């Protein structure tokens, strides 16, 4: 498995495909996001910003995008066309979102890339992460980006191989059309292929191949109320 960009993402309709230039492995783009966004973001609002929303710094907002009252967007950031930045969303810099994306209530983003129609609609944390086309995060899904171990370098487990990503901050990379269930946790350095389904409340790490269902089974005990 080479982890090349085209194994995870279709960039043919993505306006900012150049952010992946020079990336040998898909997660290398995490080192490019900030420089790319800072070079291109400017205070240019072509969508609708409702009264009570906060836009600070260089923030580019495309046509048809709505930033609802109570959202907080700190630049630099680039948000594409026809997106929804809903009440309570917190974008705190170096965020690049394509067209048709949703960043919803109590969802926080930093150094994150969303391809077209990616959605983080409810209570999501996305730090140092990449969401592919049409990815959907279930309510409460967290993409954890910081190891609590003494060795902070994030390593990816793929079968019998351990790959040193060289990154200190690395949340998750989700291929096109992948979905997570509510309250799932993707530990630092989790890489999900295309069309992966993660059950609710699952806590996972490492590489999950394309077209996989990650199931969580729980034993339940029922007793008569007395």
Average pLDDT for residues 114-120, to the nearest whole number? Answer: 98
pLDDT value for 209 = 97
Considering Cα of 109, then 205, then 20, then 168, what sign does the dihedral take? Answer: positive
Give φ, ψ of 71 to 5 degrees: -80, 150
**pLDDT at residue 37, as a whole number:** 98
Q: Are strands 161-164 and 155-158 parallel, antiparallel or unpaired?
A: antiparallel
pLDDT tens per residue across span 21-76: 999 999 999 999 999 999 999 999 999 999 999 999 999 999 999 999 999 999 99
- Of the pLDDT bands very low, low, confident and very high (cuts 50, 70, 90), residue 178 is very high
CA distance 23 to 2: 12
Q: Where does residue 106 fall: left (phi above 0), alpha (psi -120 to 50 degrees), or beta otherwise?
A: left
Q: What is the pLDDT of residue 32?
A: 98
Instruction: Write down the mean pLDDT value for the chain.
Output: 96
pLDDT at 217: 87
CB under 8 Å to 49, separation ≥6 — which residues?
A: 55, 61, 67
pLDDT computed for residue 150 by the predictor = 73
Q: Could you give all domains of the chain from N- to C-terminal order, each with its CATH number?
A: 19-214 (2.160.10.10)
Each residue's pLDDT tens digit, 130-166: 999 999 999 999 999 998 877 889 999 888 889 999 9
* C-alpha count within 13 angstroms, C-beta hemisphere, residue 217: 2
Q: Among candidates 206, 201, 197, which has minimal Cα distance to 184?
A: 201
Query: Could you tell me what percent of the chain has a pLDDT over 90?
Result: 90
pLDDT of residue 226: 82
Mean pLDDT of 117-130: 98
What's the gap between Cα 195 and its chain centre? Answer: 15
As a whole number of angstroms, the distance between CA 90 and CA 87 comes to 9
Q: Contact 45/59 with Cβ under 8 angstroms?
A: yes
Q: Residue 38: helix, strand or coil by DSSP?
A: helix
Instruction: State residue 149's pLDDT score.
Output: 79
Q: What is the pLDDT of residue 152?
A: 85
Tokens found for residue 121: 């609609």
- Order the strands of the 207-208 sheet from edge to edge: 44-45, 59-61, 77-79, 95-97, 112-114, 130-131, 172-174, 190-192, 207-208
Q: What is the pLDDT of residue 87?
A: 98
Task: Please report which confidence band the pLDDT of residue 206 belongs to, taking 50, 70 and 90 as the band edges.
Answer: very high
């Amino acid at each position: 498995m080479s982890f090349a960009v085209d194994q995870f993402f279709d960039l043919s309709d993505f306006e900012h495909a150049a952010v992946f230039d020079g990336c040998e492995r898909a997660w290398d783009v995490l080192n490019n996001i900030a420089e790319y966004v800072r070079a291109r973001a400017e205070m240019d609002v072509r969508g609708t910003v409702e009264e009570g929303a906060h836009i600070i710094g260089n923030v580019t907002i495309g046509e048809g995008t709505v930033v609802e009252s109570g959202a907080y967007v700190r630049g630099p950031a680039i948000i594409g066309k026809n997106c929804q930045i809903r009440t309570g969303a917190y974008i705190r810099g170096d965020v690049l979102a394509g067209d048709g994306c949703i960043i919803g209530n109590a969802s926080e983003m930093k150094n994150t890339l969303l391809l077209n129609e990616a959605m983080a609609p409810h209570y999501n944390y996305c730090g140092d992460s990449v969401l592919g086309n049409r990815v959907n995060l279930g309510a409460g899904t967290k993409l954890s980006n910081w190891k609590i171990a003494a060795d902070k370098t994030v390593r990816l487990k793929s079968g019998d191989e351990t790959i040193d990503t060289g990154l200190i901050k690395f949340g998750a990379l989700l291929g096109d059309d992948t979905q997570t269930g509510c309250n799932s946790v993707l530990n630092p350095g989790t890489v999900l292929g295309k069309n992966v389904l993660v059950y609710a409340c699952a806590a996972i790490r490492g590489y999950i191949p394309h077209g996989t269902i990650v199931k969580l089974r729980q034993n339940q005990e029922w007793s008569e109320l007395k």
